[in-house]
Structure 1
Amino acid sequence: MPRALIVGAGPGFSASLARLLAAEGYAVALAARDTAKLTALADETGASLHRCDASDPAQVAALFDQPEAAEAEVVLYNASFRVRGPTVELAPEDVRRTLEVCAFGAFLVAQQAAAHMLPRGAGTILLTGASAGVKGYARSAPFAMGKFALRGLGQALARELHPQGIHVVHIVVDGGIRSERRPETGQDTLLDPDAIATAALAAIRQPRNAWSAEIELRPWVETF
């Protein structure tokens, strides 16, 4: 049974991917700082739960000491944190935390995933990006910094690891995602998390002679 690990699991895209991969026969592992919120999803998918702060090197290393992570053929980094406000009013520690979660944590997880995938010569690392990784918005400098760094990490990893058999894909989620707090109006103006998961699965299945290093997903009405 193939294994998949989702770090920064929660509702939305990561939950949809967990369900889809479980349906495809994967043994799914879900990692997050708060695993209590994942109990229902774990029950639904048969996933194992792992408590981990992705910005802590020791906790990430401990996560990959477990076979559920070490043997994963697919690893998704989905953790994110953001703080908004005028630049002159932002608390430096909040900015640091944004960078730690959005970018440094992604490096830690990708580093561990690559270390375990390289001896096998195969594997897929997915990084969940955002509009902020393509264009910076006013009053959102920290998130832009973190997501731009994540995109740069994805590009560097793809160039380094693709020739060694490890597929790295940065997924730009450009637009609002449908949720209970943000319901669809019936005009397909929001990204469907199940549709994002389907696109991710298609990337996972790509043959190595036609790999994507980045895919952009947006609803038809989204400007770019």
Structure 2
Amino acid sequence: MPPPIALIYGAGPGTGAAIARALAPTHALLLMSRSLPQSISRLALDDLPQDRVYAHKYTGAASFGEAIKAAQERWPGAQVKVGVCHAGVPFQPGPFLNKSTEDFKECLDSAVQAWDFSQAVIPALLAANGGTLIITGATMSRRAGANFAAMAGASFARRALAQSLAKEFGAQGVHVAHVVVDGLIATAHVDGMMGKAEPGSRLEPSDIAEVYLDIIKQKPSAWTQELDIRPSKEKW
């Protein structure tokens, strides 16, 4: 039997790649982003079996279904058992009166993408007799700070989507979880902007990935719908 497929949208060189690495021993990896497959080398997954990795470009709503179809042709008989929507909300902070409607719409598009992703993944999970769908959130998924009006609405919408889907599809074997990532993630990009940080003040991508793996392994009698994770020194 071929391994089950894990679809990761927002597969970048930080947390997305870490989630892929955590799932690699048990799943075939279907990776998506706007820059894939051209940027696959940035994910540093060369040590993984390359016949278990397939990268597909995100070009809009239809590309999710196209990627699933292509992956199942690549791995005949394989079923999608995991979907992770990790692509974040565009970074658009700033005073409300300085932001435009277009800024707001750009942020809201991340909620539309989570919607499109879920509409493609849930039928595949149902066809596989269940599986896990995880949507990544942020601190502003639950509380909106000053100067984050353009971003917070989209984050709230993604959280609401995850909650609604969990209630609609849980009894059919689809575990939908929303993960609030509360704090800065220790990536090369963040380190380059803000400098190195002391231990315990930033989230490590590999540790985030372990949390996602724990969610995927949960038994149906004790599913998590939402959890929040933060480094030990984060103020909250």
TM-score normalized by the length of structure 2: 0.87
Determine the structure 1 residue equivalent to 2:9. Answer: 7
**Which residue does 1:58 correspond to in 2?**
62
Code of the residue aligned with 1:67 in structure 2: it is: A
| Match of residue 40 from structure 2 | 38
> What's the counterpart of residue 176 of structure 1?
184
SS at match of 2:55: strand
- In 1, the alpha carbon distance for the partners of 2:234 and 2:16 equals 22
- 1:114-129 to 2 correspondences below 5 Å: 114-129=122-137
Offset at residue 28 of structure 1 (A): 0.6
Distance in 2 (alpha carbons) for counterparts of 1:194 and 1:165 = 27
Residue of structure 2 aligned with 1:154, choices 137, 162, 165? 162
Corresponding residue number in structure 2 for 1:90: 99
Give the C-alpha shift of residue 57 in structure 1: 2.3
Which digits, 9 at most, give the CA deviation of each residue in 1:196-224, with x for residues without a partner?
Answer: 00011011000111100011101122232
CA distance in 2, matches of 1:68, 1:178: 34
Displacement of 1:68 after TM fit? 4.7
Number of positions where the alignment pairs a residue of Structure 1 with one of Structure 2: 220
Q: Deviations over 1:60-110 (max 9, x none)?
A: 332333235983211100112231221112132222121112x11001111
Unaligned 5+ segments in structure 2 are none
What's the Cα RMSD here?
Answer: 1.8
CA distance in 2, matches of 1:60, 1:89: 34
1:49 aligned onto 2:63 = no
Report the Cα offset of residue 11 of structure 1: 2.1
**CA gap 1:97/1:185 in 2 versus in 1, 3 angstroms:** closer
Q: Is the 8 A contact 2:4 2:26 kept in 1?
A: yes
Measure, in 1, the Cα distance between the counterparts of 2:200 and 2:217. Answer: 26
C-alpha separation in 1, matches of 2:223 and 2:136? 17
CA distance in structure 2 between the aligned counterparts of 1:67 and 1:126, rounded to whole angstroms: 19
Q: Is the Cα contact below 8 Å between 1:191 and 1:219 reproduced in 2? A: yes
SS in structure 2 at match of 1:75? strand
SS of match in other structure, 1:100:
helix
* TM-score where L is the length of structure 1: 0.91
Conserved 8 A contact 2:82-2:125: no
Contact 1:2 1:26 in 2 (8 A): yes
Residue in 1 aligned with 2:205? 193
Counterpart code for 2:71: P
Quick one: which amino acid aligns to residue 134 of structure 2? Answer: L
Quote the Cα distance in structure 2 between the aligned partners of 1:90 and 1:172.
25
